[in-house]
């Protein structure tokens, strides 16, 4: 039993930046062959492709929006072309925004829920023919789904939905030997609260740093470590769990 993933196949959604990028690199470094996707053409996708080229393995970085049925089909087609089975599936792609609930338009609710909750539904459902005994499905949730976060009702609702889906899938498909787990990050140092003003950001930092036992934000690699554990043979009896990786909130 170890953390190595040699000979294993993996799909990570939203792998060009932040947490997803750290997960892609951790899985590739552990020996897996990784397919990942992104939405926006640009330097992030190009630099990830370059980094993966330096590693061994036939990895792929494809443009595909997992909030649409066409995008999900695109990335799954890439997986089917390369893999007979999918050993590791990481639903990471997610979007966030801050809107007071009283002003939250339906379109914004729908935008967030479509990528964060409907996206994983579509990806898992389309992946089912490739999943087999021993496959591990890991979905990136959020600590905020349990705690609640002002101005993020749409986001926390989408992330809480993933926890319910995860528990149900672990029961419905556990008999096939497929594991389902959620990793719930606390505040991780990525580009996430980009739309905050400087003043809002300072208040945000102060509020969250005070809540964390470790007194610091997390690093994307620290989420990737938890994902690697759940993807590997070290966790073959762990399923239906939500693993909080939040510095002790």
In whole angstroms, the minimum distance from the beta carbon of 241 to ligand NDP comes to: 16
Q: What are the tokens at 157?
A: 């609702």
Look up 204 and say whether it is catalytic.
Answer: no
Instruction: Give the separation between CA 228 and CA 248, rounded to whole angstroms.
Output: 20
Using only C-alpha atoms, what is the Rg of the chain?
17
16 binds ligand NDP (CB under 6 A): yes
Site string for ligand NDP, 77-96 (x = CB under 6 A): ---------------xxxxx
Among 51, 73, 192, 221, binds ligand NDP (CB under 6 A): 192
118 binds ligand NDP (CB under 6 A): no
**Residue matched to tokens 């990136």:** 140
Q: What are the tokens at 19?
A: 């947490």
**Residue matched to tokens 């939040």:** 246
Instruction: Decide whether 72 or 169 has the Cβ nearer to ligand NDP.
Output: 72
**Interacting stretch for ligand NDP, rule CB under 6 A, among 53-61, 99-107, 163-171, 181-189?**
181-189
Q: H or E element: which one contains 76?
A: helix 69-82
Is residue 60 helix, strand or coil?
Answer: strand
216 — phi, psi (to 5°)? -155, 160
Residues that bind ligand NDP (CB under 6 A): 13-20, 37-40, 44, 65-67, 92-96, 115, 119, 140, 142, 185, 187-188, 190-192
Which residues have a catalytic role annotated? 155
């Amino acid at each position: 039993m170890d953390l190595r993933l040699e000979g294993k196949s993996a799909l990570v959604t939203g792998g060009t930046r932040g947490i997803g990028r750290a997960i892609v690199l951790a899985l590739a470094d552990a020996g897996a062959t990784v397919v990942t996707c992104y939405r926006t053409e640009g330097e992030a996708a190009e630099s990830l492709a370059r980094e993966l080229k330096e590693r061994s393995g036939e990895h792929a970085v494809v443009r595909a929006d997992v909030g649409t049925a066409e995008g999900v089909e695109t990335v799954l087609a890439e997986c089917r072309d390369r893999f007979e089975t999918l050993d590791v599936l990481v639903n990471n792609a997610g979007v966030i925004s801050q809107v007071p609930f009283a002003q939250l338009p339906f379109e914004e609710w729908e935008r967030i829920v479509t990528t964060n909750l409907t996206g994983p539904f579509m990806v898992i459902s389309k992946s089912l023919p490739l999943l087999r005994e021993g496959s591990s499905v890991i979905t990136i949730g959020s600590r905020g789904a349990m705690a609640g976060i002002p101005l993020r009702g749409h986001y926390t609702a989408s992330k809480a939905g993933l926890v319910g889906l995860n528990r149900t899938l672990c029961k419905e498909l556990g008999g096939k030997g497929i594991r389902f787990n959620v990793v719930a990050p606390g505040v991780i140092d990525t580009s996430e609260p980009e739309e905050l003003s400087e003043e809002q950001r300072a208040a945000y930092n102060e509020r969250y740093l005070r809540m964390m036992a470790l007194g610091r934000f997390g690093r994307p690699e620290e989420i990737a470590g938890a994902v690697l554990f759940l993807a590997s043979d070290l966790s073959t009896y762990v399923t239906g769990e939500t693993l909080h990786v939040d510095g002790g909130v």
